[in-house]
Amino acid sequence: MSPFDARPDGPSHRQSGAPAADGARGGTPEQALGRLFGIGVGPGDPELLTLKALRLLRAAPVVAYYAGPRKRGNAYTTVEEHLRADQILLPLVYPVTGRIPAPPFDYEGTMRRFYDRAADLVAGHLAAGRDVAALCEGDPFFYGSFMYLHDRLAGRFRAEVVPGVCSVVASAAAVGTPLVYRDQSMLVLAGTLPEAELERRLADADAAAIMKLGSNFEKVRRVLTRLGLAHRALYVERATMHGERIVPLAEIDPASVPYFSMLLLPGEQWQGA
């Protein structure tokens, strides 16, 4: 059984499989092909779904979404109440989530094969003329897993992206602090970067968002402390989702930091206005 056969506990009457993709346009009139929609569903609060996302989501015969094994995924649960009973659900179940297994496990190769197979499954529907709405947390083109489908399929099928409310601005709203004033610049970093690289890049940042914390949290906190920036850092967990938490940096237990968390370093408040 492939990872794709593992259904999250969605409604049982829906079909999740897809015919294998031939993928090519060869011989198929373009108008007969389905369209791929990357739907940004926002950071978690279902009210942050855009009207356009909702319209295209409800119109699509197929809804694809990434999820962990035996999970439904945040993007799916964000839009679940809007789905029609006759829509085909296509869960794309990650082979690995959370902490990355150490070598000799081939993480990059495993993920590449997973995204290839996910794209084949989506392509099967597109080639059969069915539009596919692929859900993505936040915005699809901002660290969004939809990008791996887009990279593989946009050259062969019509693809459109519906931008979503990004977690960075949702987190700023959650902590109630403006991010950047006037001519300030903002740096967006992944906490997965090596410690020295984080330190080098953060050293002269006006403002920053540090994403993908999880097990990287302690490393990031060390860097902020060394740079004398810890007092400015605001930690947000699950912004706009159930269980949203805003905790002072010093009080965070590194063992409890989830994947859906980030640190914001807002720009200094503008005094001139």
Ligand X SMILES: C[S@@+](CC[C@H](N)C(=O)[O-])C[C@H]1O[C@@H](n2cnc3c(N)ncnc32)[C@H](O)[C@@H]1O
Tell whether residue 267 is a contact of ligand X (CB under 6 A). Answer: no
Binding mask 220-259 for ligand X (x = CB under 6 A): ----------------x-xxxx-----------------x
Residue from 171, 208, 223, 264 in contact with ligand X (CB under 6 A): 171
Instruction: Round to whole Å and give the CA distance between 74 and 40.
Output: 12
> C-beta of 69: minimal distance to ligand X in Å?
18
d(CA 234, CA 231) in angstroms, rounded, equals 8
Q: Closest CB to ligand X among 123 and 236?
A: 236
Rounded Cα distance between 67 and 94, Å, is: 6
Cis preceding-peptide flag for 194 (omega within 30 of 0): no
Select the span of 86-94, 154-162, 176-184, 209-217 touching ligand X (CB under 6 A): 209-217
* Per-residue binder mask for ligand X (CB under 6 A), 125-144, x = binder: ------------xxx--xxx
Write down the least CB distance from residue 12 to ligand X, Å: 29
| Rg, Å, the chain Cα set | 20
155, burial (CB in 10 Å: exposed 0-12, middle 13-18, buried 19+):
exposed
Question: What is the residue whose two structure tokens read 């914001």?
Answer: 264
Cα diameter, the chain? 64
Kindly identify the residues of this chain, within the stretch 4-43, that bind ligand X according to CB under 6 A.
43
Task: Give the residue nearest to ligand X (CB).
Answer: 138
Which one, of 181, 197, 179, lies nearest residue 189 by Cα?
197
**Binding residue for ligand X (CB under 6 A) from 62, 211, 233, 252?**
211
Compare residues 35 and 245 and give the one whose CB is closer to ligand X: 245
For residue 202, the number of C-alpha atoms closer than 13 Å in the C-beta half-sphere is 30
Interface residues with ligand X (CB under 6 A) are 43-44, 137-139, 142-144, 166-167, 170-171, 211-213, 236, 238-241, 259-262
